[in-house]
Chain A
Amino acid sequence: MDIAVCVKHVATLGDEVELNDDATDVDPDYLEWTINEWDTYAVEEALRLREVAGGGEVVLVTVGDGGADESLRRGLAMGADRAVRIDPGEGAGILDPLTVAQALALAIDDVHPDLVLAGVQSSDAVQAATGTMVGQLLGLPTVAVVKRIELDPGAGRARVHRELEGGLVHVMEVATPAVLTVQTGINEPRYANLRAIKQAREKEIAVRDLDAGTRGCCRVERMFTPPAGETAEALGDDPAEIARRIVEIVTARLS
């Protein structure tokens, strides 16, 4: 049971924001990086499914510069076997989901996996598109927003639970190999112990260059900080004063 898992090294923004000179992205100095939360669930699910199947390889695939190795090492420390990183070059900025999906699909094709997992979305761009695009480009059946996977490897099928709006669950069967995008809460991602973190340093990360021959599907033209609009009325900064105001507002509204 070989499983490819798409991983993204995502950026988060602290309290302060400065844009870059042409206002197409945040100034990199203001960004902090980590593994995409959804992808930790996808890695965990791959490790569990491999256990159930009794063996196989879990391969992480990402598009990102050298900084992304940190997220790959985290997945390798959780128990993945090796990783492939497609490097778009330093300072590539925000890549569109189609460009990323094309690069991922090429790399995944070499793995010939029995299953491909991706997070539903990335926390920094929230397109919820890359996994579904990978499925299309690989010609594999694709099911998005999955919160339970029951694999029947011998039968070439999986039963999956899709999480729809309002908590409704859609149970489906899908032929494998397939691409499934994984929702948070599907499992409890493990923490790697110190030994596993050390071992992960020895695992292979193969690096390739991104073939930037495509035009992508969207491009940030102008980034801006949201207009203040109707901002919340400030309740002050002293907890006692804040609580006093909350009591006042709540009792007035409920009376």
Chain B
Amino acid sequence: MSGILVVAEHLQGRLRDPSLEAVSAARQLGGPVSVLVIAHDPRALVPAVSVEGVDEVLCAQVPAENFEPDTYLAAADSVVASRDFDAVLAAFTVNAMGFLPALAAKRGLGFSSDVFSLRADGDRIVATRAYYGSKVHAEVGFPAPPVLLVRPTAWPPAGGSSDPPVLDVEAPAVGARTTHVAFEEAPSGDVDITSAELLLSIGRGIGEKDNIEIFRELAEKMGATLSVSRPLVDAGWMPSSRQVGQSGKTVKPKVYLALGISGAVQHLAGMKTAGTIIAVNNDPESAIFRVAHYGAVADLFAVAEELGRQWPG
């Protein structure tokens, strides 16, 4: 390997953890690891990316204070054009989705996102990702050095500290066609699901809105906090403050009881570190069973009814 480029991600002045996970993924491939920081003040982020295994930090200073797809693409493209990297890695995040596929299209590079395992087969990179609702996995190969967006939490964040050389790189001036307006925090809800010890979490499996009441009552009886997966928020049935997952809250209760949740990758990212995960779903192939400690393939309404009956007190 002649070199791996990691594009670091930051938000509101802070490095985001998945960037350090991407560093771990890059180290696993072998070869020198360069980290590219595209920012208004990239030097401010150098200490945060100076972790073990980073051989070099590249600083691309840009006028934009916040993420701009055109500006970030031009900066990354200019670095990629100037050297022969074997791969470009970044975390699979919303910002990455906004410009790194464009980099692959522009440069004729390989591309895959949601990569959760990587290996080097000689000079060839082979990535593993999922298809069809995570029910099958596949190794994919690339016709050119690939841009790889790695699944958050698939690698441990690189730690330790190092003192790599820091290089300034030219970021071409572009007339960005987007302008930053503002960040808006999600409205806080009536409960904080991140502080609950017992979460009763429901998903698409509950079928219809009127059924929420069944689980609200059950949660109350069990002393649990009711949380939900994304489809129930999309449907407008529950507020986003109750949503577990990448676009909602990351939770780590002592017990996570998932009823009728199939386990989309984005949902799993928000709850897989829970102490004990119990899942009930009628589909035995549901991805939720792969992170659950206890599982039952059953009708969730029948189980809910029995739970209500058997819960002590």
Residues of A in contact with B (beta carbons under 8 Å apart): 11-15, 17, 19, 24, 26, 31, 94, 96-98, 101, 120, 123-130, 132-133, 135-137, 141-145, 159, 161-175, 178, 181, 183-185, 188, 215-226, 229, 231-237, 239-240, 242-247, 249-251, 253-254
Contacts and interface: CB of A to CB of B under 8 A. Distances in A.
A196 B312 CA distance: 53
Instruction: Indicate the member of A178, A232, A235 with the most B CB atoms within 10 Å.
Output: A232
Q: Is the interface of B mostly helix, strand, loop or mixed?
A: mixed
A237 B140 CA distance: 37
B131 A124 contact: yes
User: How many residues of B sit at the interface, in one of the four size bands?
Assistant: 35 or more
A15 B101 contact: no
B295 A232 contact: yes
Nearest to A132: B101
B247 interface: yes
A250 B298 contact: no
Contact of B265 (A125, A126, A127, A132): A126
Nearest to A141: B177
A142 B69 contact: yes
Given A137-B105, A233-B294, A249-B278, A126 B181 contact: no
B170 interface: no
18 contacts: A26-B132, A126-B129, A127-B101, A132-B98, A144-B94, A145-B94, A145-B98, A162-B98, A184-B234, A215-B143, A217-B144, A218-B143, A218-B146, A224-B138, A225-B136, A226-B135, A226-B290, A232-B290
Interface stretch (B21-29, B78-86, B279-287): B279-287
B104 A239 contact: no
B104 to A, nearest CB: 6
Contacts of A216: 143
Given A167-B240, A173-B179, A226 B131 contact: no
Given A218-B141, A231-B290, A142 B102 contact: yes
B278 A168 contact: no
B305 interface: yes
Interface stretch (B38-46, B50-58, B109-117): B109-117
A136 B181 contact: no
Nearest to A159: B181
B198 interface: yes
Contact of A174 (B73, B127, B177, B240): B177
Q: Is the interface of A mostly helix, strand, loop or mixed?
A: mixed
A239 B299 contact: yes
For the complex of A and B, list the 3 residue pairs with the smallest distance between their C-beta atoms, beginning with the closest: A167-B186, A232-B295, A243-B306
B133 A169 contact: no
Contacts of A183: 247
A174 B276 CA distance: 44
A242 B235 CA distance: 30
Contacts of B141: 218-219, 221
B105 A233 contact: no
B295 to A, nearest CB: 3
A231 to B, nearest CB: 7
A181 B69 CA distance: 13
Contacts of A163: 94, 247
A143 B250 contact: no
Given A141-B177, A250-B222, A128 B140 contact: no
Contacts of B97: 120, 128-129, 132, 144-145, 181
B9 to A, nearest CB: 10
A171 to B, nearest CB: 4
Nearest to B134: A226
Given A164-B94, A249-B278, A232 B69 contact: no
Nearest to A176: B177
B185 interface: yes
B182 A171 contact: yes
Nearest to B311: A247
B112 A124 contact: no
B135 A13 contact: yes
Given A127-B114, A217-B110, A26 B98 contact: no
A185 B234 contact: yes
A118 B130 CA distance: 21
B210 interface: no
Given A126-B130, A218-B141, A234 B276 contact: no
Nearest to B282: A15
Nearest to B254: A253
Given A167-B243, A184-B234, A240-B306, A97 B98 contact: no
Nearest to A173: B179
